[in-house]
A and B are shown apart, each in its own frame.
Chain A
Amino acid sequence: MTDTKHTDDVTGVDTTGHQWDDIRELNNPLPKWWVYSFYACIVWSVVYWIVMPAWPIFMNGAWTYTGGVIGYDQRVVVENDIAEVTAGRQVFLDQISAQDLPTIQQNAELMEVALAGGRAAFGDNCAPCHGSGAQGSTGFPNLNDDDWIWGGSLEDIHVTLKHGIRWEADDDTRFNEMPRYLTDEILTSDQVNDVTDYVLTLSGTGEVTEASTRGSEVFARECTACHMDGGIGNRELGAPNLADAIWLYGGDRASVYESVANARSGQMPAWGDRLDPVTVKQLALYVHALGGGE
């Protein structure tokens, strides 16, 4: 391919001797501007190696890198940027920290910050159980609705967030315990069946039968202390309303039977131990704003 020296007729320029499909490559020199740009790039790269952090080196038994002569470090730049943003935000966070929840709620500007912060914190901490849209699932309450076991006011939500539910490490945690009526042999299996039938009538999903009438007597004796007459629940005690359309562990017969027989006791961490107070406040405001806040 590269044997014969050949000069192109049209241009009078030597070819490189390369020939493919009868097409020959002219041996034109590179344009000067190109060559000089190329040299400039080489010089530039050497200068860059010296000036900027560039080379990995093994020093004092560990890998590190050459620092460059001007002390530039992208990590420092990023840290400074973050510090700047944080400082800008701090103004608002200080106000949120200083004011009480209802006051913040009246302040549109602060609310914007609080809701944005709350949404982010919710996604990071709460979404694994309650879902990214706070829609909940079996055993994990839907926070969008208006059914609150421990209360839906700003203050109630804040307390729940801060101290958690059945979170033993926190002395002020929300706590209650429903008896395991069948397992602990407080009621017989028949009685549990009867109570189940009665509970289903409370929300209008069950028919009034002989069994449910028997169950109503058991309910009056065993359950009204917490769930109140008619099963309307008691937030002081964290006893769910059994007469509404919302069921935390399912409203079908089997789920209700299981709840009576074995009791349920969900848990929520005390976020006051894990997150800073401002974030917990923002979370409370966010959850309250989801639509069910009272």
Chain B
Amino acid sequence: MTSDASTAGPETAGAGLTSLIGEAEKLANPHGHEGETATAVNSEKNRSLYASRIKIYPKLVHGRYRLVKWIVMAITLGVYYLTPWIRWDRGPFAPDQAVLLDFPHRRFYFFWIEIWPQEVYYLTGLLILASVLLFLVTSLAGRVWCGYTCPQTVWTDLFIYIERLIEGDRSARIRLDKSSFSLSKLFRKVSKHTVWLIVAIATGGAWVFYFDDAPTLATNLLTFSADPVAYLFIAIFAAFTYVFGGLAREQVCTYMCPWPRIQGAMFDDESFLVTYKYDRGDPRGPHKKNTSWDGRGDCIDCGQCVAACPMGIDIRDGMQLECIQCALCIDACDEIMAKVDRPRGLIEYDTPANMDRRLAGEKERIHIFRPRTVIYMGVLVLVSAIMFFSLATRGAIDLNVLRDRNPLFVQLSDGSIRNGYTVKIINKVHQEQAFSIRIDGLPSAQLIQQGVSAGDSVKTAIAPDSLKDIKTFVILPRDALGSLDEGEASLRFIVENMSTGETVSNETSFRGPR
């Protein structure tokens, strides 16, 4: 671990002090690993009812999980910042932005999918999918969502990265905070918060692009001619990013997020959780080089796993609600295991059941298909299938027929009965379309359109991407009143797109005197 101190720039700033601490630690830890005096924030020693926050200084680790986290961070941030800039040609009457939540025109665009207000159930389906997926991965591997992809984790990680660049790694930061006021301290603090604010504003800034045409909005924002609401939202999001990612950090996960409270119900004995294998690690304690490992555990009590933990906890105390399963303690311990020449994986993704099996001398097993996960998978497949089917068979016409209720029916002078209907047709095509309307199910009834003379068939043209109300009447001649049963008959409206031949129909009723 000393390699950190000699290579990382900011670390060398207080080289004298480091070497002093280093000396002291070498005495305590003859293996030559810089020991950490890190104590878990929730350790029993300092657990009190009314404690104020203990600041956490996560240490940089290197390893597979850290690498995965860098990659996930790059992908998620990339997706977040770049998505609004993807173009998607929808023709002249619709916006060209691939992902756009167009509230003023009440449309959601998502690549080839276009969602109208009456179709928000797709969003419901998406939420159901997301939550079942979350349940599934949680039952398989605990809070992996929290550890890798949760925006809180990603941005906190980014903020810690910036902090580390400016103030140095763990020990340098601790020293800086302890040191008395100096110009260099002021400079570092101010620059850190400045960079944080820039990132926060960029984050809030990216958010608004999802709601308006990105290039236009960007120009307007820069020339200060954008809608004040845009600035307001940027400010709100920037403020939350800055406070959550920079200042509140782990407190969001521990105190504000409901997920840690629910997660207990999601795990079971076969779930893969970041685990300290106490059966292998204990009894722990410092280990002298070239001495035997017999009769003791592999943990040298170096405290690296605690120092690396962004939640400030000690995984060796077992599963805790604060743990976001980020696996950084795994990387930290693996580094140590490599140094002391022991197999890595003292801290590793492991299942409680395997721990028991090892203790009982049985073979470890992976048990992915359990009732709980199978049910989640089933629901996942089912909901996706329904969503996929309804999206695939979704037509370009939407029809809704509303029958007048006041009056229920009208008797005409020749004794025939007339009902009024409002036919609402939505043309989802980005071009004007001609539609014809006819009725079915009530022979001898006649359909006419308000303001159009009887006998003409009912035809209408609807502008691109819009809704039209067509007021129509259905007349049932006096001698056909026998087709009413108890004064009522069912009636079907059929609307046909005259160029594509696509038809939709809507069932309604016809009312007359009983």
A interface residues with partner B (beta carbon < 8 Å):
10-11, 105, 131-135, 142, 144-147, 241, 244-246, 289, 291-292
Contacts and interface: CB of A to CB of B under 8 A. Distances in A.
Interface in B449-493: 450-451, 471, 473, 478
Given A10-B49, A11-B49, A11-B50, A289 B411 contact: no
B499 interface: no
A54 B411 CA distance: 59
Given A244-B413, A291-B473, 14 more contacts: A11-B49, A11-B50, A131-B406, A132-B406, A133-B406, A133-B407, A142-B407, A145-B411, A146-B412, A147-B412, A245-B415, A245-B478, A246-B413, A291-B418
A135 B451 CA distance: 19
A135 B407 contact: yes
A105 B413 contact: no
Contacts of A135: 406-407, 410
A159 B411 CA distance: 25
B410 A291 contact: yes
Interface string B395-438: 00000000011110011111100101000000000000000000
A10 B411 CA distance: 84
B411 A245 contact: yes
A147 B407 CA distance: 16
Contact of A245 (B49, B406, B413, B418): B413
Contacts of A131: 406-407
B292 to A, nearest CB: 46
B33 to A, nearest CB: 39
15 contacts: A11-B49, A11-B50, A105-B451, A131-B406, A133-B407, A135-B406, A142-B407, A145-B412, A146-B413, A244-B413, A244-B415, A245-B478, A289-B471, A292-B410, A292-B412
A145 B411 CA distance: 6
A132 B478 CA distance: 26
A291 B420 CA distance: 8
Closest 5 CB pairs of A and B: A133-B406, A135-B407, A244-B413, A245-B415, A144-B410
Contacts of B404: 133
A282 B418 CA distance: 24
Interface residues of B, number: 19
Which applies to chain B's interface (DSSP): helix, strand, loop or mixed?
loop
Which applies to chain A's interface (DSSP): helix, strand, loop or mixed?
loop
A236 to B, nearest CB: 18
Nearest to A8: B49
Nearest to B418: A291
Contacts of B49: 10-11
Contact of B451 (A132, A144, A289, A292): A289
Contacts of B420: 144, 291
Interface string B370-407: 00000000000000000000000000000000001111
Contacts of A142: 407, 410-411
A291 B448 CA distance: 10
A105 B452 CA distance: 11
Contact of B450 (A133, A245, A246, A291): A291
A132 B404 CA distance: 12
Contacts of B407: 131, 133-135, 142, 144
Contacts of B471: 289
A242 to B, nearest CB: 11
Nearest to B471: A289
Contacts of B478: 245
Contacts of A244: 413-415
A290 to B, nearest CB: 8
A145 B407 CA distance: 11
A37 to B, nearest CB: 18
B97 to A, nearest CB: 30
Contacts of B405: 133
Nearest to B413: A244
A289 B49 CA distance: 75
A292 B450 CA distance: 10
B467 to A, nearest CB: 13
Contacts of A246: 411-413
B414 A245 contact: yes
A153 to B, nearest CB: 13
Residue of A10, A134, A144, A289 with highest tally of chain B CB at under 10 A: A144
Contacts of B410: 135, 142, 144-145, 291-292
B161 to A, nearest CB: 31
Contacts of B413: 145-147, 241, 244-246
A205 B460 CA distance: 41
Contacts of B411: 142, 145, 245-246
Contacts of A10: 49
B451 A245 contact: no
Nearest to B448: A291
B476 to A, nearest CB: 13
Residue of B406, B407, B420 with highest tally of chain A CB at under 10 A: B407
B470 to A, nearest CB: 11
Nearest to B407: A135
B405 to A, nearest CB: 8
Interface string B33-67: 00000000000000001100000000000000000
Nearest to A289: B450
A170 to B, nearest CB: 28
Contacts of A241: 413
Residue of B49, B413, B450 with highest tally of chain A CB at under 10 A: B413
B458 to A, nearest CB: 15
Nearest to A13: B50
Nearest to B473: A291
Contacts of A292: 410, 412
A11 B415 CA distance: 89
A244 B478 CA distance: 12
A289 B405 CA distance: 16
A31 to B, nearest CB: 12
A54 to B, nearest CB: 29
A10 B407 CA distance: 74
B255 to A, nearest CB: 16
Contacts of A133: 404-407
A224 to B, nearest CB: 20
Contacts of B450: 289, 291
Contacts of B451: 105, 289
Interface in B223-250: none
A11 B48 CA distance: 9
B50 A245 contact: no
A153 B450 CA distance: 14
Contacts of B412: 145-147, 245-246, 292
B407 to A, nearest CB: 4
A144 B50 CA distance: 75
A147 B415 CA distance: 11
Contacts of B414: 244-245
A230 B414 CA distance: 15
Nearest to A147: B413
A258 to B, nearest CB: 21
A131 B49 CA distance: 70
A245 to B, nearest CB: 4
